């Protein structure tokens, strides 16, 4: 899926040209599109992804008949403007989200895992339905900035270790953090970027695949064939596992400042005007995810009121069980694919294509669109300022915002609603 920028305007470094290329493609598209599918959780190059830009992700979504599409980068919303423009051009309903990692000290002490199968206590939390930028002068922004800086600091140390390790093996790379930053549009680096940059730096040592296979064999201390080197995504995953994971020669302990508390991260997401959502691991089933009803109720005590579910990581029977429990408790479930590696995957899978599950997933998509719409129009989002749901009855709240998101409002109606109070908006949507 990843393509070099030289292949045309779709992969230009200029976002304006990328949008123009998408517009031209849509205008000239002769294929009759179904336009019904849902994917509310993909990463872009603003964090780490198979997609070279937000516009490219929308291009693929358009080709795969996605109707509801959601961007979901780690620690940043920098890709949201391009994503919004691209979705408008392609006629997709856009959902905006952000994701980060917190630490639950109680689960850490008890060695219980949430949605990080390798690290007890760590919990990925998504801010679903971002409607504004976070206040730069807020405490929440200060906490987020501290998290970002801790991640950058660790990545720099990994770079130094990888460069020294390669030198010990007899390969002078002069590998620097600038090599990593060059892979990002705005310097939002991840561990995956570090490994990608390292892989590309090593590949620069030779044009001969057999020679490169020998180099990688020495570095990974595992037999690498010439044909393996061609699989960039696979090689990067292997190098990450062999060199930078815990217990490996280039591992760097993560800074505790990179993981704020669940309470802080929930407040950060609310600062974005979003609804905190828990991303279910799917497979394996972790200790905290064994009892879905208990998990949902526990998340509500933290101010987390929705679930994200992932194709290709969750078996269909498990997905059905999760959605059944969520339905009983009035919890929206958002389906996605992540796409946070360089591996090529389709944007839909068995879960969203299941005829029994699709209606609930569509209702959830309408729900988050309703939250975004009403937050923007009149400040009437799903959550109140203190983080509690606007409706005490979860089913009623779910139904109301899903109904709002499912309506086709004219520009004139939207303009009029901007002048209305919350009660007037409710009355309009009930009788519209």
Report the interhelical angle of 358-378 vs 394-406 (nearest 10°).
Answer: 80
Residue 42: inside a domain, yes or no? Answer: yes
Domain boundary among 229, 244, 259: 244
Res. 4 pLDDT band, cuts 50 70 90: very low
Q: Are residues 9 and 118 in the same domain?
A: yes
Q: Are residues 100 and 32 in the same domain?
A: yes
Task: Output the CA–CA distances (angstroms, integers) from residue 92 to 64, 76, 115, 133, 242, in the order listed.
Answer: 12, 22, 29, 22, 40
Give the residue carrying structure tokens 């815990």. Answer: 246
CA distance 314 to 429: 35
Task: Output the CA–CA distances (angstroms, integers) from residue 111 to 106, 124, 256, 286, 383, in the order listed.
Answer: 9, 16, 17, 11, 32
Res. 22 pLDDT band, cuts 50 70 90: very high
Residue 412: inside a domain, yes or no? Answer: no
Q: Are residues 129 and 14 in the same domain?
A: yes
Task: Output the CA–CA distances (angstroms, integers) from residue 348 to 1, 218, 222, 335, 339, in the order listed.
Answer: 15, 39, 35, 9, 11
Q: Are residues 299 and 235 in the same domain?
A: no
- Per-residue pLDDT of 114-171, as tens digits, reads 999 999 999 999 999 999 999 999 999 999 999 999 999 999 999 999 999 999 999 9
**Domain total of the chain:** 2
Q: Are residues 279 and 327 in the same domain?
A: yes
Q: Are residues 236 and 183 in the same domain?
A: yes
Residue 421: inside a domain, yes or no? Answer: no
Answer whether 249's CB lies under 8 Å from 161's CB: yes
- Per-residue pLDDT of 255-269, as tens digits, reads 999 999 999 999 999
Query: What local confidence, expressed as pLDDT, does residue 283 receive?
Result: 87
Other CB atoms within 10 A of residue 419 CB? 9
Rounded mean pLDDT, 168-192? 97
Res. 2 pLDDT band, cuts 50 70 90: very low
Domain boundary among 335, 366, 397: 366
Residue 24: inside a domain, yes or no? Answer: yes
Residue 406: inside a domain, yes or no? Answer: no
Query: What local confidence, expressed as pLDDT, does residue 298 receive?
Result: 97
Residue 211: inside a domain, yes or no? Answer: yes
Q: Which residues make beta-bridge pairs with 96?
A: 71
- Per-residue pLDDT of 342-391, as tens digits, reads 888 999 999 999 999 999 999 999 999 999 999 998 888 999 999 999 99
Res. 415 pLDDT band, cuts 50 70 90: confident
Task: Output the CA–CA distances (angstroms, integers) from residue 359 to 220, 280, 325, in the order listed.
Answer: 47, 20, 15
Residue 267: inside a domain, yes or no? Answer: no
Q: Are residues 189 and 279 in the same domain?
A: no
DSSP alpha helices (H): ranges in 12-53?
A: 15-28
CA distance 266 to 139: 13
CATH of residue 78:
3.20.20.140
Q: Are residues 292 and 356 in the same domain?
A: yes
**Lowest-confidence segment of 127-141, 193-207, 400-414 by average pLDDT:** 400-414
**Taking all residues of the chain, what is their mean pLDDT, rounded to a whole number?**
94
Query: What local confidence, expressed as pLDDT, does residue 1 receive?
Result: 42
Rounded mean pLDDT, 34-42? 95
Domain boundary among 348, 366, 384: 366
Residue 401: inside a domain, yes or no? Answer: no
The fraction of the chain above a pLDDT of 70, given in percent, is 98
- Per-residue pLDDT of 260-301, as tens digits, reads 999 999 999 999 999 999 999 988 999 999 999 999 999 999
Rounded mean pLDDT, 31-58? 95
Q: Are residues 239 and 283 in the same domain?
A: no
Q: Are residues 20 and 123 in the same domain?
A: yes
Domain encompassing residue 203? 145-244
Q: Are residues 155 and 106 in the same domain?
A: no
Give the total residue count for the chain.
432
Q: Are residues 12 and 82 in the same domain?
A: yes
Q: What are phi and psi of 5, to 5 degrees?
A: -60, -25
């Amino acid at each position: 899926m990843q393509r070099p920028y030289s292949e045309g305007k779709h992969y230009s470094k200029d976002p304006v040209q990328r949008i123009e290329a998408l517009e031209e493609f849509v205008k000239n598209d002769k294929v009759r599109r179904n336009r019904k599918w849902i994917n509310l959780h993909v990463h872009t190059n603003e964090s780490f992804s198979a997609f070279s830009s937000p516009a490219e992700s929308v291009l693929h979504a358009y080709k795969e008949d996605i109707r509801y599409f959601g961007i979901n980068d780690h620690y940043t919303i920098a890709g949201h403007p391009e994503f919004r423009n691209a979705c408008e051009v392609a006629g997709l309903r856009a959902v905006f989200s952000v994701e980060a990692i917190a630490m639950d000290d109680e689960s850490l002490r008890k060695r219980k895992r949430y949605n990080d199968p390798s690290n007890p206590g760590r919990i990925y939390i998504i801010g679903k339905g971002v409607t504004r930028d976070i206040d730069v002068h807020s405490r929440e922004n200060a906490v987020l900035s501290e998290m970002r800086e801790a991640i950058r600091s660790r990545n720099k140390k990994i770079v130094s270790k990888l460069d020294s390790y390669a030198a010990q093996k007899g390969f002078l790379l002069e590998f620097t953090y600038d090599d990593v930053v060059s892979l990002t549009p705005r310097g939002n680096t991840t561990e995956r970027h570090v490994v990608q940059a390292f892989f590309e730096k090593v590949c620069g040592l030779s044009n001969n695949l057999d020679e490169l296979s020998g180099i990688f064999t020495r570095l990974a201390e595992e037999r690498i064939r010439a044909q393996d080197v061609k699989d960039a995504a696979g090689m990067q995953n292997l190098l990450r596992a062999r060199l930078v994971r815990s217990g490996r020669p280039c591992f760097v302990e993560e800074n505790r400042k990179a993981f704020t508390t669940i309470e802080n991260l929930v407040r950060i997401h609310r600062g974005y005007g979003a609804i905190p959502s828990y991303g279910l691991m799917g497979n394996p089933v972790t200790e905290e995810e064994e009892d879905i009803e208990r998990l949902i109720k526990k998340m509500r005590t933290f101010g987390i009121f929705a679930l994200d579910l992932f194709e290709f990581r969750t078996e269909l029977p498990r997905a059905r069980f999760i959605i059944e429990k969520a339905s009983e408790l009035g919890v929206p479930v958002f389906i996605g694919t992540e796409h946070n590696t360089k591996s090529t995957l389709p944007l839909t899978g068995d879960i969203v294509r299941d005829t029994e599950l699709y209606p609930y997933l569509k209702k959830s998509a309408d729900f988050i669109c309703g939250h975004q719409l009403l937050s923007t129009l009149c400040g009437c989002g799903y959550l109140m300022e203190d983080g509690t749901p606007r409706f005490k009855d979860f089913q009623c709240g779910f139904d109301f915002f899903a109904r709002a998101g499912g309506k086709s409002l004219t520009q004139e109606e939207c303009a009029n609603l901007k002048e209305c109070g919350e009660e007037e908006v409710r009355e309009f949507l009930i009788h519209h």
